[in-house]
Amino acid sequence: MNIRRERPQDYRQVENLTREAFWNVYRPGCTEHYLLNRFRENPDFIPELDFVMEEEGRIIGHVMYSKAEITCENGSRLPAGTLGPISIHPDYQRKGYGLKLLLHSLDEARRLGLGLLCIEGNLDFYGHAGFVAAGTLHLRYPGEPEETGHHPHFLARELTPGYLKGMECTFRTPKGYFAADEDPEAFEAYDATFPPKEKKLQAGQLPQFCQSCGMPLTEAVAGSDADGSRNCEYCIYCYKDGAFTGNFTLEEMVEFCAQFVEEYNRESGRSLTKEEYKAMLRRYYPTLKRWRLAEERLPHADSPVKRRLIDEINALGIAGMPKIENLFVLQGSFVNLEYKHNGNAVKLLDDDNSYWGTQVEKCGSDGRCFGIACDERYILVSEYGENGADAQIVMLKRRDASGDAESRR
């Protein structure tokens, strides 16, 4: 086993190794190989701490370091460092190679005079090399609202004992560390030069959150791309058929999500007021991908599927129903009303599916509303009173590719 500095002729091999090592490990797919590709030219890159590990002449591992900075409670700034990605080829994982490479690089980092290292990773592994939860050193993750507590995967190690002197500090991620998010088109083009691999949401990954509204992201609520495949960055309520479901500004998203403050309080054990929750969201949302990207880089919110549905609904000519301007993605369990049919109670939707839909007030009525739920097969229009009382089916329309339809009123 040999550890040496990386050379230019190693670059492509190391990037492919990194992609293989990280794919679907911490998140669906990975971007670490692109970070390597872009970061070697970054002024924060530390070439003296860029190492490969060889076994019988084959590169099986790699680690790189970069400069970073922390901001302290007294306004001062201290130099720091961060490492990663650190990668070991899957054929050699869980055999001690990763820890050997890490410990070697830490010795070299200390020799170069680095006093503090901050990383994002698994404490079960990095704890063997002296890393601890950063919160125990009064270090906060970048962009992390104080109300949420400390990030469980944000770790740190003082290479110089007492380096922080017990001060409250915030880590500042090096510029360029989110290269794939900052230029997603370039990343996709770069990743396409490697063999195709399937992205998956799976157990053991870092907690995934919708990069639009911040809700926990699981297989059950993952969004969909234009080809119908699963999108692993956004939830189905924010992103469907390859586009965002609404043209929200950040502040409009805060206002919309503030209605779920009680649900947040139940799940977190906190007791925030609505205004406190909104203030927390205003600090949190700028860390999410949708709100970091420039407007021109975002998929347009009016997807062809949604526009076609809106046109079909407005063409129905239902008396008393105002013109529909927008549709939102709704969970079936929230809109699956119970109707009376031949004396029996029936439901027409699937609680586990999502639907394009909305609610509008019926013109000239006293509190009656129209509810709309539709997908690629049907358009359902119902009418009901307060809280879905006395629900009646107004129209159930079967859709098909030709635009012809069978309707039941």
Residue 364: its pLDDT value, please?
85
> Is the CB of residue 326 less than 8 Å from the CB of residue 358?
yes
For residue 244, pLDDT beyond 70: yes
pLDDT in tens, 30-39: 999 999 999 9
Same domain, 236 and 168: no
Same domain, 288 and 148: no
Does 199 or 303 have the greater pLDDT score?
199
Same domain, 363 and 270: no
Task: Return the percentage of the chain with pLDDT > 70, whole number.
Answer: 93
Same domain, 290 and 341: no
Same domain, 131 and 55: yes
Report yes or no on 326 lying in a domain: yes
> How many structural domains compose the chain?
3
Return contacts of 211-218, CB within 8 angstroms, 24+ apart: 211/288, 211/289, 211/290, 212/238, 212/239, 212/244, 212/253, 212/288, 212/289, 212/290, 212/291, 213/237, 213/238, 213/253, 213/257, 214/257, 214/281, 214/284, 214/285, 214/288
Band of pLDDT at residue 403, cut at 50, 70 and 90: very low
For residue 300, pLDDT beyond 80: no
For residue 121, pLDDT beyond 70: yes
Residue 275: its pLDDT value, please?
95
Going by DSSP bridges, is the β-strand pair 139-140/169-172 parallel, antiparallel, or unpaired? parallel
**Of the ranges 115-119, 304-308, 386-390, which one carries the lowest mean pLDDT score?**
304-308
Of 297, 326, 348, the domain-final residue: 297
Domain that holds residue 291: 207-297
Same domain, 69 and 157: yes
Report yes or no on 53 lying in a domain: yes
The residues that bridge with 96 in the sheet, in sequence order, are: none
For residue 388, pLDDT beyond 90: no
Interatomic CA distance for residues 1 and 347, integer angstroms: 65
DSSP string, 269-304: T----HHHHHHHHHHHGGGSHHHHS-GGGSPPSS-H
pLDDT in tens, 332-377: 888 899 988 777 888 999 988 888 899 999 998 788 999 999 988 9
Mean pLDDT score, 281-307:
76
For residue 322, pLDDT beyond 90: yes
Same domain, 212 and 173: no
Mean pLDDT score, 99-104:
97
Of 297, 312, 333, the domain-final residue: 297
Mean pLDDT score, 125-154:
79
For residue 248, pLDDT beyond 60: yes
Same domain, 334 and 384: yes
For residue 146, pLDDT beyond 60: no
For residue 43, pLDDT beyond 50: yes
Tell me the pTM.
Answer: 0.66
Same domain, 164 and 27: yes
Report yes or no on 202 lying in a domain: no
Report yes or no on 175 lying in a domain: yes
Same domain, 15 and 111: yes
Report yes or no on 331 lying in a domain: yes
Which segments of 23-55 does DSSP mark as H helices, in order? 32-39
Mean pLDDT score, 184-193:
92
Residue 119: its pLDDT value, please?
93
Band of pLDDT at residue 235, cut at 50, 70 and 90: very high
Same domain, 317 and 385: yes
Report yes or no on 61 lying in a domain: yes
Does 302 or 74 have the greater pLDDT score?
74
Residue 404: its pLDDT value, please?
46
Mean pLDDT score, 144-148:
53
For residue 245, pLDDT beyond 60: yes
pLDDT in tens, 196-233: 999 998 888 878 899 999 999 988 889 998 888 889 99
Same domain, 23 and 160: yes
Q: Which residues of 356-390 are buried (b: 16+ CB within 10 A; e: fewer)?
A: bbbeeebeeeeebbbbbbbbeeebbbbbbeeeeee
Residue 23: its pLDDT value, please?
96
Q: What is the DSSP letter of 123?
A: H
Of 276, 297, 318, the domain-final residue: 297
Report yes or no on 184 lying in a domain: no
CATH code where residue 23 lies: 3.40.630.30
Report yes or no on 319 lying in a domain: yes
Mean pLDDT score, 99-108:
97
